[in-house]
Amino acid sequence: MLSNSDRSGRMTEKTGTALLRWLQQRAEQDRANLRLFVLGAALFFAGLGIILLAQKHLLPSLGQEIISLTGLILAAVGALFAALGYIALSILRIIRLTRKND
pLDDT in tens, 14-28: 788 888 788 778 888
Q: Which domain holds residue 30?
A: 4-101
Residue of 90 and 66 predicted with greater confidence: 66
Number of domains in the chain: 1
Whether residue 77 contacts residue 48, with contact meaning beta carbons closer than 8 Å, is answered with no
Q: How far apart are CA 97 and CA 64, in angstroms?
A: 49
Sequence-ordered list of residues with C-beta below 8 angstroms from that of 54, at least 6 positions apart, any chain: 64, 67, 68, 71
Its pTM stands at 0.74
Q: What is the per-residue pLDDT for 93?
A: 80
Give mean pLDDT, residues 77-84: 96
| pLDDT value at 13 more than 80 | no
Whether residue 66 contacts residue 98, with contact meaning beta carbons closer than 8 Å, is answered with no
Crossing angle between the packed helical segments 30-57 and 62-101, to the nearest 10 degrees? 160
pLDDT tens digits for range 40-74: 999 999 999 999 999 999 999 999 999 999 999 99
Q: Residue 70: which H helix or E strand, with range?
A: helix 62-101
